[in-house]
C-alpha cells in the first residue's frame, strides 16, 4: 500500500488553577517548550493554503490565515521529522509528515504524542508544579469537541459526489472498531451511559465545509496541498483520536483500501442510509454493534453488516491484484476484528479503544459499587487519554502488557528524528538536518532556503510522491552549502 496520507491531532489542554484561563495562551506556551528544534526561527509558509474552497465547486467567504512574522514563529514549530506542531484555534495540534502507509501513520502519531508529552513536562517544570494537563481525546465533557483529522490523497478524476456516497455508510459504521469510547452524551443528544465514539454526538449534517460548527460526516474542504488539477485531499473529520495502535491502523488502513478501490473502479457496496446523521449516533450507542439501522429503501441493516459488505468487496477487489504486506495485514485484521465483534466484543479489549476503556470502567464500577453517573467514572474516561506516560490509563495498560502494540519504541524514536522516506517529507527533513540555519520557512508544498547572499529561494514540492529518499538522496552527497544544493536543483 503506497498512498500519501497523514493525520492531524488537536489536543485538549487544561490548567488546574484560574491563573491561566486562556487556552490559546496556554497552547502557545506549551509548544514554545518544543525540544530539539533544528530551525527554531523557521516560518510556516502559508502561500498555498486556502481552506475556503469547497469540493462541491465554490469558494466561501473568508480570509486565509497570514500571521505576521513574529506571531508565525509563535504559532508554528517545524519538526525534525518534517511534521508540524502548532496552535490551531484554542488547541495545540500535531500534524504528521506525509506518510506512505498506515503503519507509518501509527509510528508518526506516537512520535507526536511523545513530543507533546515532553513539551508538557518542560512547561510544568518551568512553572514549578503540574499546572497543565493535556489529553489526546475529542471532548472536554462540557459540550466542546476538538478534532482529529485524517488526510488521503485521491485522484481528482473521481467525482466528489461519488466519493461521498460510498464513504457515508462506511464512516457511519466505522466506529465499531475505531471508536475511542465515551462516557455520557453531549451536544443535546439522547442520553446514554457509554458509547463507542467521541465525535458522533457532534456530527450534525452529511456534507459541509465547516469543522468547528455544523460538523459534517463528509468534510468538503478542497485544499489538496498538491497539483489541484490532478488530486484532491480527502479531509476526514469524523474519526476519534485513538490511543490503541490497532484502532489507528485499522481506521487509516481500511479507509485507504476503500480509496484504492474508488480510484481503480472497484465494485463497492451501494448502501444508502435513511438518515446518516441519526444513524451515526445510533451506531455509537450500540455496544452490541448489531442494532437495526434503517436504509433509504425501507429495509434494515447493521453497522457490522455494512463493514462486512465493504470487507467482502475488498477481498473480491484484491483477488486479481498483487497484495502488499501492509494491505494484506489490514485485510486480515479487519476480518478478524469484525468476526470477534460479532462473537463477543469484549475479546477485543487489547486492540480496540472503546472495548478497552469499557472493560476498565466496568472493573472499577464492580470494585467500588458505583454507577455510570459517578463523577469518578467521567474522570477515568478522561484519564485514559492523559498523554503523560506515567499517568495516562492507556499507558498503564500498555506498560503492563494489556494492549497490543504494532510499533516498538525504537521505531517511534526514529519517527521523532527522521522523515518518512517515500514521500516529499524526506527532502524537507534532509534540508532541515543538513542546513538548519538556512531553512527560512517550510510548508507541505515548499521549503524556503536562504543562500549565502541572503536571497530566499522557494523550492516547490507540489508532488507529494517526489522528493523521496530514492529520488533526492544523491542531491545531498558531497555538498556543504545551500548554494550547492540550489545549483544542483537548477540543473
Q: CB neighbours of 17 closer than 8 A, spacing ≥ 6? A: 131
Q: Is 274 inside any structural domain? A: yes
The bridge status of strand 132-135 relative to strand 148-155 is unpaired
Q: Is 430 inside any structural domain? A: no
Residue with cell 473521481: 158
Give the model's pLDDT for residue 391: 97
Q: Is 158 inside any structural domain? A: yes
Question: What is the total count of domains within the chain?
Answer: 1
DSSP 9: E
**H/E/C letters for each residue in 49-73?**
CCCCEECCCEECCCCCCCCCHHHHH
- Find out whether 258 and 168 touch, Cβ atoms under 8 Å: no
- pTM score of the predicted model: 0.97
User: Any alpha helices (H) in 264-324, and if so which ranges?
Assistant: 276-284, 303-318
Q: State the CATH number of the domain containing residue 152.
A: 3.30.590
DSSP 46: -
Q: Which pairs count as long-range contacts for 346-350, CB under 8 Å and 24+ apart, including other chains?
A: 348/177, 349/402, 350/402, 350/403, 350/404
Q: How far apart are CA 475 and CA 459, in angstroms?
A: 13
Q: Catalytic site residues?
A: 88
Give the model's pLDDT for residue 48: 86
Cell output for 390:
506515567
The residue range of the domain holding 32 is 5-37+79-413
Q: Is 236 inside any structural domain? A: yes
Q: Is 59 inside any structural domain? A: no
Q: Is 49 inside any structural domain? A: no
Give the model's pLDDT for residue 2: 77
Q: How far apart are CA 475 and CA 226, in angstroms?
A: 22
Residue 195's DSSP bridge partners are 182
Task: Tell me which residue of 174, 317, 173, 197 sits closest to 253, measured CA to CA.
Answer: 174
Q: Is 421 inside any structural domain? A: no
- Find out whether 3 and 150 touch, Cβ atoms under 8 Å: no
Give the model's pLDDT for residue 234: 98
Q: How far apart are CA 194 and CA 378, in angstroms?
A: 10
Give the model's pLDDT for residue 1: 54
Cell output for 457:
529561494
Q: Which ranges of the chain have pLDDT less than 70?
A: 1
Q: How far apart are CA 448 and CA 459, in angstroms?
A: 6
Q: Is 322 inside any structural domain? A: yes
Amino acid at each position: 500500500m503506497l498512498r500519501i496520507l497523514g493525520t492531524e491531532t488537536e489536543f485538549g489542554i487544561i490548567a488546574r488553577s484560574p491563573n491561566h484561563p486562556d487556552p490559546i495562551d496556554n497552547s502557545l506556551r506549551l509548544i514554545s517548550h518544543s525540544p530539539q528544534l533544528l530551525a527554531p526561527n523557521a516560518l510556516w509558509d502559508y502561500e498555498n493554503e486556502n481552506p475556503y474552497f469547497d469540493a462541491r465547486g465554490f469558494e466561501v467567504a473568508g480570509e486565509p490565515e497570514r500571521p505576521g512574522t513574529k506571531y508565525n514563529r509563535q504559532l508554528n514549530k517545524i519538526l525534525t521529522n518534517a511534521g508540524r506542531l502548532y496552535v490551531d484555534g484554542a488547541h495545540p495540534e500535531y500534524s504528521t509528515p506525509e506518510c506512505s502507509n498506515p503503519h507509518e501513520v501509527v509510528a508518526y502519531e506516537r512520535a507526536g504524542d511523545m513530543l507533546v508529552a515532553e513539551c508538557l513536562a518542560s512547561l510544568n517544570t518551568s512553572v514549578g508544579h503540574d499546572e497543565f494537563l493535556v489529553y489526546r481525546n475529542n471532548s472536554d465533557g462540557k459540550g466542546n469537541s476538538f478534532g482529529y483529522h485524517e488526510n488521503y490523497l485521491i485522484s481528482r478524476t473521481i467525482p466528489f459526489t461519488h466519493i461521498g456516497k460510498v464513504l457515508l455508510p462506511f464512516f457511519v459504521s466505522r466506529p465499531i472498531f475505531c471508536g475511542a469510547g465515551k462516557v455520557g452524551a453531549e451536544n443535546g443528544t439522547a442520553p446514554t451511559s457509554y458509547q463507542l465514539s467521541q465525535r458522533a454526538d457532534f456530527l450534525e449534517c452529511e456534507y459541509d465545509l465547516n469543522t468547528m460548527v455544523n460538523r459534517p460526516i463528509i468534510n468538503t474542504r478542497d485544499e489538496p496541498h498538491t497539483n489541484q488539477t490532478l488530486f484532491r485531499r480527502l479531509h476526514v473529520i469524523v474519526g476519534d483520536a485513538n490511543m490503541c495502535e490497532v484502532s489507528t491502523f485499522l481506521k487509516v488502513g481500511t479507509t485507504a483500501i476503500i480509496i484504492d478501490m474508488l480510484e481503480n473502479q472497484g465494485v463497492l457496496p451501494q448502501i444508502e442510509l435513511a438518515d446518516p446523521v441519526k444513524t451515526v449516533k445510533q451506531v455509537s450507542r450500540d455496544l452490541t454493534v448489531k442494532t437495526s439501522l434503517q436504509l433509504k429503501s425501507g429495509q434494515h441493516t447493521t453497522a457490522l453488516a455494512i463493514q462486512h459488505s465493504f470487507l467482502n468487496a475488498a477481498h473480491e477487489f484484491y483477488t486479481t491484484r498483487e497484495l502488499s504486506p501492509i494491505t494484506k495485514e489490514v485485510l486480515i485484521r479487519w476480518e478478524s476484528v469484525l468476526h470477534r465483534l460479532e462473537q463477543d466484543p469484549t475479546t477485543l479489549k487489547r486492540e480496540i479503544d472503546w472495548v478497552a476503556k469499557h472493560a476498565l470502567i466496568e472493573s472499577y464500577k464492580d470494585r467500588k459499587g458505583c454507577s455510570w453517573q459517578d463523577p469518578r467514572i467521567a474522570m477515568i474516561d478522561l484519564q485514559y487519554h492523559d498523554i503523560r506516560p506515567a499517568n495516562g490509563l492507556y499507558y498503564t495498560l500498555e506498560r503492563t502488557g494489556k494492549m497490543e502494540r504494532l510499533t516498538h519504541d525504537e521505531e517511534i524514536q526514529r519517527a521523532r528524528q527522521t522523515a518518512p522516506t517515500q514521500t516529499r517529507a524526506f527532502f524537507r527533513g534532509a534540508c532541515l538536518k543538513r542546513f538548519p540555519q538556512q531553512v527560512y520557512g517550510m510548508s507541505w508544498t515548499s521549503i524556503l532556503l536562504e543562500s549565502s547572499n541572503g536571497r530566499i529561494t522557494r523550492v516547490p514540492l507540489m508532488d507529494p510522491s517526489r522528493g523521496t529518499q530514492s529520488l533526492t538522496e544523491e542531491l545531498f552527497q558531497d555538498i556543504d552549502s545551500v548554494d550547492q544544493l540550489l545549483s544542483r536543483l537548477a540543473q
